[in-house]
Every structure is written in C-alpha cells, then in structure tokens.
Structure 1
Amino acid sequence: MTLEQLSIFIAVAEREHLTNGAAAVGLTPSAASAAIKALENQYGVRLFDRVGRRIELTRAGRLFLTEARRTLASVREAEGLLSELGGLRTGRLDIEASQTIANYWLPTRLLRFCELHPGISVGFRDGNTASVVQAVISGRAELGFIEGTIDEPALASLPVHTDELAVVMSARAGHIASRTTPARLHELNWVMREPGSGTRAEFEAALAAIGVDCRTLPVALTLPTNEAVLSAVRGSSCAAALSRLAISPFVASGELAMLDIALAPRQFTILRHKERRLSAAALEFERLCRERD
C-alpha cells in the first residue's frame, strides 16, 4: 500500500465519483481506477460497488476510509515536523480553497510563498466551501480557505480578508439594472453558483439581511464556476451575484453593469484543524496571507 493509493482512494471515496476524484488528485480516471483496483487485489477486499452508472463505498470501504484519512493526516504531520527541522528548506504544504479565493486572491500569495521558500512543495486544489471543509477535516489539506464562515466544531477559523459581493448584469441590460431595487430583485432571472459554494451561501445570507427571500428569485441556470456564471451573464439579460474581484475587469471594460444593491461584506477565512499541529510551512503561509492583506 502506498500513500498515493491512499490519496486516490480518499479522493474517490469522498466524492463517490471516479472522474471527479481522479481530477482532484491530478490523475486520469483510468489511472485512478487502476490504483484502486491494485489496492483491492492486493488485500482481497472490495472497496466500491458499481451501482448503475454510480459507485458506492462498500461496508469495508467505509471502514477503510476512516483509517485512510487518519493515516494520511499522520503522514502530513510527520512531513510538517521534518519541514520544521529543515528550517523551511524542504517539506510540503497542502492547501484547498473555494473558487473565488483560488482564482482571484490566493495566486499572488502562493507565488510569493514559493519565491521565499523554493524548497517547499505546494499542493493546491480548488473546490467549494463544502469540499474545502472536508479536505481539512480529513487531513488532505493542512489549510483551507473559504468565503464566509462555517460552524464546524473540529475546525478553527481565522479571517484574513474582507470581500464584497456585487449584483451584475450585462451592460446591454443596463436599462433594467438602473431601475432595479431590492424589492424588485424577484423580477429578474438569475444565474447562480451551486449549493455548497461560499458565493451562493453568502449571497443568500446577504439577501436575508436586506429582507429579500432568496426563494422568490427565479433561477434560470445553476453553474459550478465563477467563470461559467460570468460567461452566461455577459451573454444574456440574467443577473448574478459575484465577488468584486471576479467582476472588476468586466465592469471596467463596460461589459457588465453593477446594480445599486448594497450587500453586506463577507470574510475570506482560513481553516485549520483544532487538534492537529500546523507545520512550519503552514504557519509561515498563514502569516504571509495576513501580512500581505
């Protein structure tokens, strides 16, 4: 059994989806399938059942998932200790971040960290809030970055940046945008991020704060990335709520128009496991994120 096999198994098991799990660890579905099959053959145990087009964990698979997570977390802690002993000359830092942070806020900070500590290998994945939380709980990621806050007893959180959501439409629909008030938001068609994303959850909370029930909004389309939402809105008369970090180039170019809807600011938050000691690399990256903000 190898650590790579454990990582592949955990990624596929948490998603119960071979293609998505393989993508999470940077492999093709066939390579991930071969690794899991080798693990099953080596120990003579079946970890997944194929049910129609889906895969499901067997009872043995569910039991093994708990131990696999614990083992991988212990390995990360051992790597962190060696990193400290090496004075940040070597080691590994695993991070997972929700999409807005991953695409618009974190890259410059990651680059700065790599410039300062070239011997540290950085594993970086994006997801949504739900997947980031699970990654930190399982030990797959030492640090997680999400939009907003969560109530998870196993995790500690630290706010590192204040962001703003804005409601936008195509500039071609500017005549609609100019006369839209909070009370008339339900008259618009909406393109939304998927349930489980920080952007979706924070938008719904911001609407509630100004007395708008999100259930009254007609949702024309739900999409899994900010970029997909931006493309849909730019080519339609629909509205969307996205981070100012994501929309600013399109507002500046005149492609998108912002509605005069005041939404409460939200926090970008770092997550860590309460019971696991952070490696020197994780502590240094956390410090860098706070400092540069």
Structure 2
Amino acid sequence: MTAHLLVFVTVAEKKNFSRAAEALSLTQPAISQQIQSLEDYYGTKLFERTSKRVELTRAGEVLLPFAKEILNVSAVAKGALDDLVGKVTGKLTIGATFTIGEYILPLVLAQYTKSFPDVEVSVLIANTEEIGEKALDHSIDIGLVEGRLVHRNLNLTPLMEDEMVLFAPAGHRLAGQAVTREELSREPYILREPGSGTRVIAEEVLVKLGVVPAKVFSMGSTQSIKEAVEAGMGLAILSKWCIRKELLYGTLVQLTPDGFSFTRPLQVLERSGHFQTKAVEEFLTLVRAFPPTHNAS
C-alpha cells in the first residue's frame, strides 16, 4: 500500500501521469494501474483526468495529507531502524530560504554528501512562509530560514548570525574611507522588489544608518543587484554570503560607515514533536558547526 500511496502523491504533485512515471522510473501503465488499485480500495475516484493534466477530486484532496503522513511515518520508521545499526541512509529533504539555499547550503551539502553518500538529498528553495508551510505538511524534514515566523506547531532555533554588508563597485569614490550619513544619502541604491524579505532587511539597515537614499532602483533577484552595482548604478545591501566571491576577487568593495554593524539571525525550523532521523541529526550537527559569515570572505 505504501508504494501505491507514493504513486498517488507523486501524481498529485506532478498533475500528470507521464511526469509522475518519469519521476518514479515506472511506466505510465504501471502508474495508471496503481492509481486504479487505490481507487478500487477506497471505492471512489481520486483524480479527474483530462487530455493534458489530472486534478484531485474532493476524495483525493482528503486523502492527500493522510498519504503524505503515512509515507513520512514509514520513512521515519526505516530511519529509526537504520539508526539502531548505525547506518545513515534514507532521504533528507531540506527547505531553505534564498540566501541560505543559494550561497550557504551548497557548501554544507558538499561536505555532507561526502560523509554520508547513502543519503538521498533534495533541496527546496522558497521564502520563509512557504518553508513553514512545507514543514507543516511534511514536505520537508528540516528548514533553514532567514525571515521571522511564529507558529505554535513550529520550532525556530538560532543557527548563526548573518552579517549584512553595504557595498559598492570597485574603484568607487567612497571605498576605503569612513563614510558619513550625508555622503551615503547622496547615493542611489539598488534594492530587491517591494515585499521581498531581503528588501525589508536592507531598509532596516538604511534606517539604522540614518540614510535616506537619493534614488532607489528595484531589482528582482540578488544576482541582478550584484550586476547592477558592478556596472556602477549605485550601492546595495546584501548578506555577506551573497558577495563573498566578488569581495575576494575585488569586483565589489565593502563600505564601512563608522561604527556600523548589522546582523540578522539565520534559524533552523522544525515541526514540533517531529522525530529526527539520523540523516537529519548528522545534517544539523554539520550545519551548526559551519563557519560564521565573517569567515566567508
């Protein structure tokens, strides 16, 4: 039955039998047969089929969270048995917000996968709220987030402090000197789009500096911000993790307003009462021992 439920969940997520078959390395007739067996077992249709996609029926929507929970419990049970004999195997699904997922997590996973090659790792990158939702519906085993989130069924614990950096293109007139609030207020700034968590943090930094930008440009990604600063459009504020390579190679320079520092917490997000497999435990041990941001450059 577990195999049938895995097929059911995969079809529900892919909304297509052929894509589900590809994801599970099965034939499409095998997928159809297992879904038919489930529908016979429960005595109701689980999907409405069209020529292009499939959609859950009301019965399918009711079954989906239970199916995910059963698959999760099955995976946890296997992990617990593996733990008894000291094996680190199974699956590890990590949810991460953008700075962590794109700039920190790859460095951690490079070491983790060498140490534990039998663990199948997958990563979901999304905002903090989405990561919280994925934790609650058992779609991820662990979350690493930048933003603020409060929920009675989620636990947040500190991971590390993330240094926010004010930076400019190489050769900028303010580079290498103690800049003043007045000088910074005459500069244009490149920020993420309104509503972005990264933009909120950047605006908090500007408030702390007492800076009212002369002009603000909005960009839809961290990479586009870095490219715009390198091209001389203005200054920007990002996590030091995001620009560590550019600082190393000298294409961007960090500005140092007198006495200025600003950090935000990066946190581990878990479901309350969730059993940790050995794969999760080893990952958390490794990520908590990871170098802090001021060693990243």
TM-score (normalised: structure 2): 0.70
Letter matched to residue 136 of structure 1: A
Give the corresponding residue for 1:192. 192
Give the corresponding residue for 1:268. 266
Q: How many residues align?
A: 268
Q: Which runs of 5+ in 1 are unaligned?
A: 50-54
User: Is the contact between residue 193 and residue 223 of structure 1 (CA under 8 Å) also seen in structure 2?
Assistant: yes
Give the corresponding residue for 2:110. 111
CA 1:238–1:71: 2 relative to 1, 3 Å: farther
User: Is the contact between residue 130 and residue 196 of structure 1 (CA under 8 Å) also seen in structure 2?
Assistant: no
TM superposition shift of 1:69: 4.1
Give the corresponding residue for 2:278. 280
Distance in 1 of aligned mates of 2:57 and 2:219:
32
Computing the radius of gyration over CA atoms, which structure comes out larger, 1 or 2? Answer: 2
CA 1:291–1:168: 2 relative to 1, 3 Å: closer
- How do 1:175-190 and structure 2 match up within 5 A? 175=173, 181=181, 185=185, 188-190=188-190
Give the corresponding residue for 1:164. 163
User: Is the contact between residue 148 and residue 202 of structure 1 (CA under 8 Å) also seen in structure 2?
Assistant: no
TM superposition shift of 1:246: 1.8
TM superposition shift of 1:48: 10
CA 1:182–1:135: 2 relative to 1, 3 Å: farther
Q: Which runs of 5+ in 2 are unaligned?
A: 40-44, 292-297
Distance in 1 of aligned mates of 2:97 and 2:174:
31
- How do 1:44-193 and structure 2 match up within 5 A? 44-46=45-47, 63-171=62-170, 174-175=172-173, 181=181, 185=185, 188-192=188-192
User: Is the contact between residue 181 and residue 209 of structure 2 (CA under 8 Å) also seen in structure 1?
Assistant: no
Give the corresponding residue for 1:3. 6
Give the corresponding residue for 2:294. none
TM superposition shift of 1:265: 0.9
TM superposition shift of 1:90: 2.5
Distance in 2 of aligned mates of 1:103 and 1:220:
23
TM superposition shift of 1:242: 1.2
SS in 2 for 1:191: strand
User: Is the contact between residue 94 and residue 122 of structure 1 (CA under 8 Å) also seen in structure 2?
Assistant: yes
CA 1:87–1:164: 2 relative to 1, 3 Å: same
TM superposition shift of 1:92: 1.9
Letter matched to residue 228 of structure 1: S
CA 1:194–1:142: 2 relative to 1, 3 Å: farther
Distance in 2 of aligned mates of 1:231 and 1:211:
26
What is the RMSD computed on CA atoms of the aligned residues? 4.1
User: Is the contact between residue 191 and residue 240 of structure 1 (CA under 8 Å) also seen in structure 2?
Assistant: yes
TM superposition shift of 1:273: 0.8
Q: CA offsets, 1:168-205, max 9 Å, x none?
A: 23336x237776628955862423167454x3343344
SS in 2 for 1:267: strand
User: Is the contact between residue 73 and residue 138 of structure 1 (CA under 8 Å) also seen in structure 2?
Assistant: no
Distance in 2 of aligned mates of 1:280 and 1:82:
10
Distance in 1 of aligned mates of 2:234 and 2:74:
47
Letter matched to residue 167 of structure 1: L
Report the identity percentage: 24
CA 1:65–1:45: 2 relative to 1, 3 Å: closer
CA 1:237–1:111: 2 relative to 1, 3 Å: same
Distance in 1 of aligned mates of 2:61 and 2:134:
17
Distance in 2 of aligned mates of 1:244 and 1:67:
42
